[in-house]
Amino acid sequence: MSVPVAPPAETPATSRQPAYRRVFGGSYSLAAQGEPALWVCAAGLVVCLTMIVGLLALVLLQGSFTFWPLPLTELETRDGKRHLGEFTREETFTMGFAALATLEETEREAAERLLCPALRRYLQRLVENDRLEPAMQEAAKQAAGLLERALLEIPAVASATPAEQRRMRAELQSLWRERRSEYRRRLLDRLRESLERSDDALLELLRGIEAKYQSWLGQSDPSQVMASLRDDDATAFAVWSRPVLQLLAVDVRIPVRRRLLRIGNYELTNEHFRWIADYQIVPGSEHHPQWAAIFERIAWGRFYGIPKELWVGDERVAVGPQQTWLAFERHHPAVRKRWREIRHIEKHVIGEINRKMEAARLSLRRLELDLQRRLGRTDVRETPQFRHAQAEFDETEKRLNEAFRQAQQNIERLRAENAGFRLVVTTAEGDDHSLQLADIVRAYTANRLTRREKFSVYLSRWWEFLSEEPREANSEGGVFPAIWGTVAMTLLMSVVVVPFGVLAALYLREYARSGPAISILRIAINNLAGVPSIVFGVFGLGFFCYTVGGGVDALFFPERLPAPTFGTGGLLWASLTLALLTLPVVIVATEEALAAVPRSMREGSLACGATQWQTIRNIVLPRAMPGIMTGMILAMARGAGEVAPLMLVGAVKLAPELPIDGVFPYVHLERSFMHLGFHIYDLGFQSPNSEAAKPMVFTTTLLLIVLIGVMNFFAMWLRSRLTRRFAHGQF
């Protein structure tokens, strides 16, 4: 029998001793309290939030101000040209004396006047610090090499023999060795004299030296190149001084503002934008004409000018800016209404005729293929069945051709009515240009707009952007087809990926037994989330489009071959490709949601006699629904923003038809579609007018973010409702 042993009694001496003795000093340690780790984590959070907020702020600011109407500015540049347009942005660059060689003479003179004060201040600092003479000596050492290169670049010297060139170089070196000390003192004296006087004196010295130097470079006789240096002391001094001054002024730079002017009138100027620096503008020429107007057109971009005359047929109904503008506002709505009627006839009436014609042709072709298969021969056009079908096709074709002729007559009548309305506009150069009123989408006199009218133009442009089709290589107009295609593809992708992802997660979590196969499958699913998206695009193109789609065409649409129906990119294959890409996200999120349901609820349901499927359907799935919705939100967000796979399996630059429209069967899974993400890529990297496309890139990005946010917020709202519904539920 064991007897319990009581622990020894604690004495007062031992009770006061600590259980562990500190080895080192007892000073307070930040590392022991975890403070540095806390600071690093907080800094990481701040950096992440800063990047996110900065990105959203940049997109919001750049995208929201794209459609705000800007004032029109007219100015004259020093080359004698006049420009009228909108200043879209400005920036500052540094300019030095080396840039003067690339400028025209009039611009170079203005730039010299800007640079000369900076050069004078720089030289004065050298004089005050007794550094001018040492700096000149250092520059003179390097000037010899510059002079030799300049000598060989003279056309008369470059065409000489190598022996002649070597002789000239030796003579040049000998000449500078004799005179460089004298020329250095002379240049030093003249610089000091000009620095004491004014900026104009220094500028006069520089221009005199430059004129002599350029005259020497323009020698056409090789014998006169060195003779002018030997016999003309002024020319020799200028030729030696020019590279020395160039090296002295190499660090002299000034900030210069330049602005990007949108000049439009592409058919006349062959450019949409032009950078104009401040020194290029004639002083006092910049102003804002009252009646200068902006004309946004269907083609050729914007046109800037002042209204001069309005013609209706052969009658001039208005003359002068004010009367012409009033007449334009009176006639333009009716002209645009007729233009919209033309578009309606072309798109819907003629489109319906073409669809019926194509359906009749395909029906006849299908009958021919059926007869060939049943009869076992190819010459079936003489059979009674084919002759009867051919007669019906001819009758249908005749009837449709008559309807097409009537539609064309209506179009020609409306176009003839619109053709008489012409607006004569005077450009900034004073030239008159005629514009058809039917080609003008929107027009306004920018410098006469009130704040309310500017806001009206702003909203009108936004409405056009959201509801119209693109034009001018997607750089103008709207993105409605891209919005429609993005929403349709995202919803169809969600319809496909969520059921399959939930079923796969249910099997893995609720039915499958743990083992090597399931472990390998989980690893494969997790690794699938890290595969580059372009790989999914290649798989979708090779498997869905070419293999499955080609089989579908051969089986169900043989009459359309060799033109593919499902054997090329389309809405269905794009949705399936992105569903495969986002499937791991849904599976992982659903598994985590299923694992979060308490085991006691499953056991209680089974104890009450419910089957496993009844338990999953009535107990597990409803309470896991918020987590499943989270997976769907993540899948939608990733799928809606993907671009690389869509470039291969269905997204196009311009889609003539929507994937979902009012024509039976309403949802056309085989059609290609426009996508906002691909639209952004096309604007940023494929647009011929990059400067005009740049604001549209930010605006389309803002729209894509808002669109994804709206879909995600709807899913989050639904998830919140489900969470509240089962928050207090008891089994």
564: domain CATH number is 1.10.3720.10
Of 8-12, 102-106, 162-166, minimum mean pLDDT range: 8-12
End residue of a domain, out of 389, 420, 445? 445
Are 416 and 494 found together in one domain?
no
Percent of the chain with pLDDT over 70: 95
78 found inside a domain:
no
- Checking 588-592 for CB contacts under 8 A at 24+ apart, the result is 588/505, 588/525, 588/526, 588/529, 588/631, 589/627, 589/628, 589/630, 589/631, 589/634, 590/501, 590/502, 590/505, 590/506, 590/509, 590/624, 590/627, 590/628, 590/631, 591/505, 591/508, 591/509, 592/627
How many folded domains does the chain comprise? 3
Predicted TM-score (pTM) of the model is 0.85
- Regarding whether 234 and 183 lie in a shared domain, the answer is yes
Mean pLDDT along residues 693-704: 92
Angle 524-530-534 from CA coordinates, rounded to 5°: 115
Counting Cα atoms < 13 Å in the Cβ hemisphere of 360 gives: 19
Tell whether 559 is covered by a domain: yes
Whether residue 637 sits in one domain with residue 494: yes
Average the pLDDT over 198-219 and give the result.
87
Is residue 85 a part of any domain in this protein? no
Domain boundary among 652, 676, 700: 676
Task: Name the nearest CA neighbour of 704 among 68, 69, 55, 70.
Answer: 55
At 658-689, the pLDDT tens digits run 999 988 889 999 999 999 999 999 988 888 88
| 9 pLDDT tier (thresholds 50, 70, 90) | low
Assigned token pair, 625: 């629904």
Q: Which of 159-163, 201-205, 562-566 shows the lowest mean pLDDT across its residues?
A: 159-163
Q: Long-range CB contacts (< 8 A, 24+ apart) of 101-110?
A: 104/78, 104/79, 106/78, 106/79, 107/78, 107/79, 107/279, 107/280, 110/78, 110/279, 110/280
More confident site: 519 or 17: 519
Is residue 405 located within the same domain as residue 488? no
pLDDT, residue 161, reads 82
CA atoms of 470 and 479, how far apart (whole Å): 6
Does residue 159 have a pLDDT over 90?
no
d(CA 348, CA 637): 35
Least confident of 21-30, 106-115, 623-632: 21-30
Do 521 and 668 fall into the same domain? yes
Residue 494's pLDDT band, with cuts at 50, 70 and 90, is very high
- The 10s digit of each residue's pLDDT in 139-156 is 888 887 888 888 887 887
| Selected residue with higher pLDDT from 636 and 220 | 636
Mean pLDDT of the chain: 88
Q: Is residue 276 part of a domain?
A: no
Burial (Cβ within 10 Å: 0-12, 13-18, ≥19) of residue 457: middle
- Structure confidence at residue 417 (pLDDT): 94
Of 256, 279, 301, the one marking the end of a domain is 256
State the pLDDT confidence band at 8, using cuts at 50, 70 and 90.
low
**Residue 6: its pLDDT value, please?**
52
Tell whether 135 and 237 lie within a shared domain.
yes
Q: What is the pLDDT of residues 370-383, one digit of tens each?
A: 988 888 888 888 88
Residue 43 within any structural domain of the chain? no
| 89 pLDDT higher than 70 | yes
Is the per-residue pLDDT at 16 higher than 70?
no
pLDDT tens digits, 43-81:
999 999 999 999 999 999 999 999 999 999 999 999 899
Same domain for 639 and 521, yes or no, is yes
User: Are both 438 and 587 inside the same structural domain?
Assistant: no
Gyration radius from the chain CA atoms: 40
Band (pLDDT 50/70/90 cuts) for residue 266 is very high
Of the candidates 96, 112, 280, 126, the residue with the CA atom closest to the CA atom of residue 204: 112
DSSP state of 100: G
**Do residues 421 and 502 share a domain?**
no
In a domain, 40, yes or no: no
Question: Is 665 found in the same domain as 599?
Answer: yes
The confidence band for 180, taking pLDDT boundaries of 50, 70 and 90, is confident
Question: Do residue 636 and residue 550 come from a single domain?
Answer: yes
Q: Could you tell me if residue 63 is inside a domain?
A: no
Q: What percent of the chain has pLDDT over 90?
A: 55
- Report d(CA 342, CA 360) in Å as an integer: 26
Range of the domain at 130: 95-256
Residues 389 and 298 in one domain: yes
* Domain assignment of residue 20, yes or no: no
Residue 20 pLDDT exceeds 50? no
